[in-house]
Amino acid sequence: MAAAADDEGVHDGRYDSPLTDVGRAQARSLAAYWAAHPPGFDRAYTSTLRRATETAAIVTAPLGLTPMPTELLREFDNGPLAGLPLAEAEARYPIPAFRHDLSAFTEGGGESQAAFRARALHALELIWQGGGERVLVVAHGGILNAMLRELTGAHRAHFAYGDTASTTVRLSRDSQTAVATGVNLAPHLPDP
């Protein structure tokens, strides 16, 4: 999602910035792609941050779905960095050489990595127990990474996410198997 925070040069995270015109165009392109190539989603969830809810509304409209908002899918809580200009944030809250997984994101607060992982698991549980066989999740790169790391057991991995790109995962209800069948898919966007 191309959000205003990108253009403003500020930390996004929990900063509740709206989509830009580019972000809306990307979402409309994805909606058109899915209208022509129906993905078969039977349920949709979205973060409650504006850039996600706006994206979700655009991409689910042609699918006849109403996305269910949940705060569990909000981006990483970067505490006082949210909305701060990048240079100011670096000066006021320098990144330590080491941060324990149980420590707050900054001296001024924010989510620890342990709390973030726990929230990702809770979001996965909500989606799993919510029913649906083909579920769409509209969220943010950080929380989507945390969810994929929990599903795959790759706790130090990082999965690339471009704006409006998607990842497909197949889960079994008969085993603990999670198969990532595609990562950072963007067939609706021109090649860079």
In the annotated binding site for substrate, the residues are 51
In the chain, the DSSP E strands lie at 43-46, 68-69, 135-138, 166-171, 178-185
Cα 70–chain centre separation: 12
Q: How many residues does the chain have?
A: 192
Cα 43–chain centre separation: 17
Tokens standing for 89? 């944030």
Sign of CA dihedral 99, 143, 165, 17: negative
Which segments are annotated as binding site?
51
User: What's the CA dihedral at 77, 60, 147, 20 to 10 degrees?
Assistant: -40
Q: What is residue 48's DSSP assignment?
A: S
| DSSP 3-state of 59 | helix
